[in-house]
Structure 1
Amino acid sequence: MIAIMTVTGADRTGIIAQVTTALAELNVNIVDVSQTLMSGYFTMILRVELLDSETSIQKIQERMKPVEEETQQVIRIQSEDLFTAMNEI
């Protein structure tokens, strides 16, 4: 399954490292990534592939809760199909 993850919040050191380490622990492959900084505000969008049938979007979101708290970011993940449907006109 392909999913889209967004990470947003004030910039600080280690955001990318903490997010990608947590994904690697869950055997989630990063297919594509875009990241930008604007006036001290960090935004990252990741297109990820869930390789392990035991890994679900819910499990990833739960694993990201401590990362959200530590990095003071908002992290959301949803299936690519849902993301596309919600962002098309």
Structure 2
Amino acid sequence: MNKAVITVVGRDAVGIIARVCAYLAEHRVNVLDISQTILDGFFNMMMIVDVSQANGEFSELVDGLGSLGDEIGVRIRCQREEIFTKMHRV
């Protein structure tokens, strides 16, 4: 399995989860785990996904999610799991 971590942060709005999940489904990315919260009007979501069956290169997925975030008014970041883990090790 080839995992990645996706984070989504921004002002809350209708349809954020739906748009991100639809994009992932279109690109054959499977959502393994998802957690989201809204705090004082700010939306925060973290997803663990399996990108082993994704169509296209990982860099295309990263760029596409970034563009989607610009379109819907949030910041979407996608990192390979091993990079995310190393960056956030205490």
- TM-score, reference length from structure 1: 0.91
Alpha-carbon distance, 1:54 to partner: 4.3
Task: Identify unmatched segments of 5+ residues in structure 1.
Answer: none
Residue 5 (structure 1) aligns with: 6
- Deviations along 1:14-39, one digit per CA (max 9) or x if unpaired, are 10010000000000000000000000
Residue 57 (structure 2) aligns with: 56
**Residue correspondences, number:** 89
Alpha-carbon distance, 1:64 to partner: 1.6
Q: Cα RMSD (Å) of the superposition? A: 1.4
> Counterpart amino acid of 1:37?
I
> Counterpart amino acid of 1:10?
R
> Counterpart amino acid of 1:41?
F
Task: Identify unmatched segments of 5+ residues in structure 2.
Answer: none
- TM-score, reference length from structure 2: 0.90
Superposition misfits of 4+ residues, deviation over 4 angstroms: none
